[in-house]
A and B are shown apart, each in its own frame.
Chain A
Amino acid sequence: MAGVHAEHRAHIQERTLRTDRWWLQPAATVFVLVSFIIYATFRAFENKHYFVEKGELISPFYSPCLSDACVEGTQLFGTLGPSSLWGFAISPALLILIFPLGFRLTCYYYRKAYYRSFWQSPPACAVAEPHKKYTGETKQPLILQNGHRWFFYAGLVFNAILTYDAFLAFHGPDGGFGMSVGTLVLLANATLLWLYSLSCHTCRHTVGGRLRHFSKHPLRYKLWTRISILNHHHANFAWVSLFGVAFADLYIRLVSTGAITNYFFF
């Protein structure tokens, strides 16, 4: 807090003079993210109830399912990954976890969200942060945030796979072509993930942001203007797509455990 109390600045004791409820937003962020982390950790280790055979629904936490521990019918891409390590069984969810996790951890919006709420740097605008020293994203490990684009590319591959999963879910009760509530859930999940990826700042930069002369690249310029509109809502897409993934997983778990039945339209 040396900052606002530095020599020659106005001598004011208070850490902040804000009178509004500035702590509400960081507190809500911590609550939501912690709830998600608890649920996702439980599900990643649970290692069952991630696939519903009737209707072919797979949880986004477990797709692509890459080890021979995966239940029958889920190994679309073979069994590349180990099912155990040093004698410990590992859940197929853990093999792929790093990609979506890394994508969200390095996302410019989530960075803002967790720097503010978890790291309190700053907790809110014009509220002094508790840290003595601050070097931002210039040193290890935070300098690695500059690798966001690699996770973005990986995220595109995941989006394609989850979209494929949604198309595989077009099944009727007898196994032929059809559609169920589960199909809609997976479709919605994939759509939200695409919106999240397409609105990403790296995406905006890649399609046109890096150019100096838009006039020489009319197509990329047009694309850039469209992506810029989505980009404006990136924070919203970040949250709804997070809820979307959790909801899709929960839906499949409930169907798989028999708690609810997956309604088939046809």
Chain B
Amino acid sequence: MARPINLRIWRGNKNGGDFHTVTVDANEGEVVLDVIHRVQATQLPDLAVRWNCKAGKCGSCSMEINGKPRLACMTRMNTFAEGETITVTPLRAFPVIRDLVTDVSFNYKKAMEIPSYAPPANLKPGEARMEQIDVERSQEFRKCIECFLCQDTCHVIRDHEENKKSFAGPRFFIRIAELDMHPLDTLRNRKRTAQESHGLGMCNITKCCTEVCPEHIRITDNAIIPMKERVVDVKYDPVRWLGSKIRKREDIS
């Protein structure tokens, strides 16, 4: 059964823009992205929106719906009240390209700043062996679909453009944690660089990244806080520091 709904869509580009309110039908079982597509098909043919899978797995349709960073393809229409006007805007932490499409290249730059997985030099392809319990923690972080909703909501950069140069953001803290917890990774200074180059200390663990992650990755509890504790081990704990000097190693088996 179709019912009419009011959609307030932000349209514009980096020079300016405004809200346009349209009334459009929504059918049983539809999601916000369906309705935006209907608007595109029937009323605003040049409305720009990015999407790919419509299954919550490609991370393309990130936008802000009633002020909350969300995937448009995973936000069901029946979660809104009858007669409610739904406001849709592009992500507000990144430069806008057009309408609902933003330039997320900040995230690709940050990804490149993180040294990749470094297996032991003598390990030949196909020879890597590890136990399930040793990789389990890292596997949670592999669920990431790179929607960058966590990056968008993180106040460190959302509210402070100037911090972008020194802050990698939650998506990349889980990447660093994934590698630092990896049983075969040999790079031993990930904790130190997390704090000194990637801005882990800027995070004040207020958990908005965790709140918006569509993959329900427990970013703060399972990656950021454990990394903060590991940083304390190597940088701020005199007892551990002394122990590591005596045993001549920074890491622990």
Q: Give the B-binding residues of A (Cβ under 8 A).
A: 1-4, 6-12, 14, 16-20, 108, 111-112, 115-116, 121-122, 125-129, 131, 133-138, 142-143, 146-149, 201-202, 204-205, 209-216, 221, 231-232
Contact: B93 with A210, CB < 8 Å? no
CB of B253 within 8 Å of the partner chain: yes
Give the residue of A3, A108, A137 whose beta carbon is less than 8 angstroms from that of B157: A3
List the B side residues contacting A148 at CB < 8 Å: 232
Give the residue of A126, A133, A138, A213 whose beta carbon is less than 8 angstroms from that of B201: A138
Q: Give the A-binding residues of B (Cβ under 8 A).
A: 10, 12, 14, 16-17, 64, 66-69, 84, 87, 89-90, 92-96, 102, 131, 133-134, 136, 153, 155-161, 163, 181-183, 199, 201-208, 211-212, 221, 225-226, 228-233, 235-237, 251-253
- Complex Cα distance, B136 from A232, in Å, reads 17
Contact: A137 with B10, CB < 8 Å? no
Contact: A111 with B204, CB < 8 Å? yes
Contact: B134 with A18, CB < 8 Å? no
B15 to A, closest residue via Cβ: A11
Interface of A is mostly: loop
Give the residue of B93, B202, B211, B232 whose beta carbon is less than 8 angstroms from that of A138: B202
Contact: A3 with B160, CB < 8 Å? yes
List the A side residues contacting B158 at CB < 8 Å: 3-4, 126, 128
List the B side residues contacting A14 at CB < 8 Å: 67
List the A side residues contacting B68 at CB < 8 Å: 18, 125-126
Query: From residue B164, how far is it (CB to closest CB) to chain A in Å?
Result: 9
Contact: B201 with A136, CB < 8 Å? yes
Give the residue of B67, B155, B235 whose beta carbon is less than 8 angstroms from that of A17: B67
Contact: A10 with B230, CB < 8 Å? no
Contact: A10 with B232, CB < 8 Å? no
